[in-house]
Structure formats: C-alpha cells, structure tokens
Amino acid sequence: MIDQICQTVLEKIKPTREEADRVNKLAQKLVLHINEEAKKAGVKAEAMVTGSIVRNTWLSGDKDLDIFILLPNNLTRAEFEKIGLDIAKKVAGKNWREAYAEHPYILADIEGYEVDLVPCYKISDPSKIKSAVDRTPFHLQFVKEKLTPELADEVRLFKQFCKGVQIYGSELKTQGISGYLAELLIIYYASFLNLLNAAAEWKQGLVIDLVKHYPVLDQARIPFENQPLIVVDPVDPKRNVAAALSYNNFLKLIFAAKSFLVNPSEKFFFPNEIKPFSKEQLLKELENRGTEFLFLVFSPPDVVPDILWPQLYKSLKSFETQLSKSNFLLHRKSVWSDEKELAIMVFEFEKAELPKVYRHIGPPVLAKKNEVDNFLKKYSTQKIAGPWVENGRFVVELERRFSTAEDFLKNILKEKTVKKLGLGRHIVASLLKEYKLLRNKEIVEIYNKNFEFAKFLTDYLSMKFPWKY
C-alpha cells in the first residue's frame, strides 16, 4: 500500500518534460544575459544555476529559480555588492525588488518565475568563504555527484511529505527542513521509506556526518550543542545543515513518520485545505472555549520575511513575559502576518481580568530591623488591608494598578514604555504608528475580510495535525 501511495504521489509531483524544458530555457537565457552584462562591465564574472532545478529535485508547479553571479574574490565587500547588484538589476528587467540575507540580492519576477539573482564570491576552497552563499556551488557539486535520477525522485517524495506536514523550508518563519537538508538525508538513508523508518526512531542530538569530518560522532555535538538534529555539512564541518530545524518541528517529523508508517495516506503529502469556520461557527467556538482573547492588530514593517518573523516571535515572547509579571497568564499565544499589510498577535487568556486586590509578601518578621521598618513605612498607607503575619512573614493586600489585560497592554504600548520591552525594533516602529486591540468577537470583521487569516484562526482553534483535516 505504501509503495502504491508513493508511486501515485510521485506521478503528481514530478515535473513534466514541458515544465523542465521551459525552466531550463529560461535559466540558460538568464545565464547568457548575466555573462553578457558582466563582460560589458569589464568584470570577470560568470553565472551559475543553482538550487533544486539544476539538481533535478524540484517539484511540479514550483516557480523558483536560483541563479548565482560568481564574482572575483579579490573584490572588497562594497565593490562586490555594487557590481553584483548592478548586473542583477540589468538582468531582472522591470519587476524586481532588493532583498537581503547576509548581503543584498535581487528577487525578480521573470516570465512567471520568482528568480533569485544572488552575487557570491568565486572561491576554490569552501573553508575560505567570504559570505555564507559562497558554499552553494560546493553544495551543488556534492549533491550532483551523489544523486542518481532514482534518488532525486526519493528527494521529491520527502520534500512533498515535509510540505504536507508543514515543516518544509528553512526560513525563520517555518524553521523546518531545507531543500539541501532533504537531499542530504536521502543520500544518507538511500530512500524515502528508509528515511521515514529511521526518523520514527530518532532521538534528540542525532548526528549524521556523510563524509566523516568527525572520526567520533560525539565530537560533532560539541560545536552544535543542544541542536535537535545535527547534519554536518559535507563541505563545511563547522556548519550544521539542520540548524534551522526547531525542536518542535523535529518532533513533528518523528511523529508524522510514525503515523504515516502505521496508517499511510496521501493526506500526509496533500492534506485537505483548511476550511474556515463560518462567522456563526467562529463566534460559537470563541464562546465555547470559555477563554478570553485579545488580538493586537497592526501593519507589519516593510522588511524581508527573514527579518520580520524573528522580530514577530521575539515580540510575542516579550509581551508574554510582561503579561506574566503582572499575573496575566496566557493559555496560548500565536502570531500571523501576510507580510505586507497586516500582522496580528493572538493572546488567549484563561482569565483576562483579575481582582483589584492582590497579596504582597514582605520580609520575615524576624528580619533585620531596617528591613521591617522600611516595609511597614512603605505600606502604612499604600494598602487595602494589613499588614498581618502569615507563615513567618509580613503580608499586605494592595490595589492592582491594572485589573484587565487590555488596560495593561494599552499602558505598555505607550511610546515611553514600548521602547523598553525588548520587542523587535521594527515592530516597535510599526506599533508606534498605529495599532488596534480587539477583544473576542471584535475580530470578526477582519476574519470575514481576510481569507488567509480566517484559515489561520480556524487552524489555531482546531489545532489538528495537517493530515487530520
């Protein structure tokens, strides 16, 4: 049964000859264009197609094309960036924008494909890279030497499986399995099913070292301490290819592998689309939970996703910390954004309103005289009740400054305060421009207008594994 499912899936995801011809023609055209522009500029540069298309591990329907512009390694960083971007912009045409990873590159829309035009240094030794992307040509060489056409199809199956269980992509939003990592895992385990059988038994701290950089595997754990999966980069022993994989997604892959092997289904590769609740269903769900929601709604900053998402996650955690300090404990939290116009942080409380009074524990009765005197003096008037003695310590009851989480958040979102919370700096700038704080059913208007957010919130309220929808 599993073999039949894999065969059926492969037939759906393997690119057709027409798809392959179309993308290869575009790639070669862009390579020639880059080389021509470099020649005109008097620069010894050359283009190289990289990524899954040239490795033959891409999936049908993918419209991503990566082309690197290899530049002389004697250029300064400033010269490298200027020359590389100038060439890329001339090749990109009209529809492009500048993006940024470790250094800037051009993201262009060309003939319906999303093309990354990435400058890198041309080097002969991967241990002497000047930027992180300089390793990529060596990755390409290693994979092409190891992957047979049959293994390439096994990679496709694993990629689609990771997409289906929603852990595909090493970007900071997803924190999952990269294409290169998928290729290395298949090379190591020799098939998709071998990989799943192994993954079902994985333990935290597993080390995979394909070219045996480390004679003793325990040595590989030292530079990558506390990372759930360690896959030593064949071209760089100091790099863990699985570094982006979060612990939760590591465990999710293990559970998905176990679940598929026990009860195989195409849903692991192609889960059902999340169907948003109707307005009436949403209101019923919110009411039935018995919790209270606050939604912080604002416009996201104009930065690339790999800058936006870490700042969103960091800010979400900082808000949780501040709420916790004032005893507003979160049941759950999450964040969603379309990365352009809308960002929404979700705070779900078991109780979003606290009593106006709270207990404050003072020093032991037998503490030093000055500690006792200072406490009694400070709370001689600023109290509702007390002091009294309980379990050997003074206790007073004080009035809570903010008894609702909504009032508390509104207060810390003031300009003087919000800058001190440890939020992402771009998030702070966005919040200072404008935000809305919505309670419970007040989110309905946005929910009805934004289909992607509606899917997100439905998923949040349902919390099923993708293959269970």
In the structure encoding, which two tokens stand for residue 16, read together? 């057709």
CA-CA distance, 116 to 23, in Å (whole number)?
A: 14
Q: Which residue spans within 178-329 are E strands per DSSP? A: 206-208, 229-233, 236-240, 292-298
Q: Which residues contact 138 (CB under 8 A, 6 or more apart)?
A: 126, 235
CB 228 within 8 A of CB 205: yes
CA-CA distance, 442 to 262, in Å (whole number)?
A: 43
Question: For strand 292-298 and strand 206-208, is the pairing parallel, antiparallel, or unpaired?
Answer: unpaired
Angle between helices 2-13 and 149-164 (to 10 degrees): 90
Handedness of CA 446, 449, 453, 459 (dihedral sign): positive
Q: How many helices (H) and strands (E) are present in the chain, helices listed first?
A: 18, 15
Say what the alpha-carbon torsion angle 403, 406, 408, 411 is, to the nearest 10 degrees: -140
CA-CA distance, 160 to 149, in Å (whole number)?
A: 17
2-42 pLDDT, tens digit each: 999 999 999 999 999 999 999 999 999 999 999 999 898 88
Residue ranges of the domains in the chain? 2-135, 147-268, 279-353+403-468, 357-399
Q: Which helix (H) or strand (E) holds 205?
A: none
Res 27: pLDDT:
94
Pairs from 416-424 (Cβ < 8 Å, separation ≥ 24): 421/315, 421/318, 421/319, 421/322, 422/314, 422/318, 422/321, 423/311, 423/314, 423/315, 423/318, 423/319, 424/310, 424/311, 424/312, 424/314, 424/315
In the structure encoding, which two tokens stand for residue 370, read together? 């000055």
Rg (CA), the chain: 27
CA-CA distance, 316 to 333, in Å (whole number)?
A: 8
CA-CA distance, 134 to 72, in Å (whole number)?
A: 12
CA-CA distance, 251 to 447, in Å (whole number)?
A: 31
Res 81: pLDDT:
86
- Other C-beta atoms within 10 Å of 444: how many? 14
Angle (nearest 5°) at CA 62 between 61 and 68: 150
Q: Which residues of the chain have pLDDT under 70?
A: 101
Closest CA to 68 of 117, 115, 26: 117
Q: What is the DSSP letter of 136?
A: H
Q: Which helix (H) or strand (E) holds 48?
A: strand 46-50
Longest alpha-carbon distance in the chain: 87
Within 73-148, where are the H helices? 77-92, 136-146
Amino acid in position 142: F
The CATH code for residues 147-268 is 1.10.1410.30
In the structure encoding, which two tokens stand for residue 340, read together? 């352009």
* Homologous superfamily of the 279-353+403-468 domain (CATH): Poly(A) polymerase predicted RNA binding domain (3.30.70.590)
CA-CA distance, 368 to 376, in Å (whole number)?
A: 13
Res 250: pLDDT:
98
Q: Is 25 exposed, middle or buried (0-12, 13-18, 19+ CB in 10 A)?
A: exposed
Fold (CATH) for 2-135: Beta Polymerase; domain 2 (3.30.460)
CA-CA distance, 452 to 201, in Å (whole number)?
A: 35
CB 122 within 8 A of CB 72: yes
Q: Which residue spans within 338-384 are E strands per DSSP? A: 343-349, 357-364
Angle (nearest 5°) at CA 146 between 144 and 150: 90
CA-CA distance, 17 to 123, in Å (whole number)?
A: 34
313-368 pLDDT, tens digit each: 999 999 999 999 999 999 999 999 999 999 999 999 999 999 988 888 999 988 89
pTM: 0.89
CA-CA distance, 413 to 325, in Å (whole number)?
A: 16
How many residues would you count in the chain? 469
CB 435 within 8 A of CB 413: yes
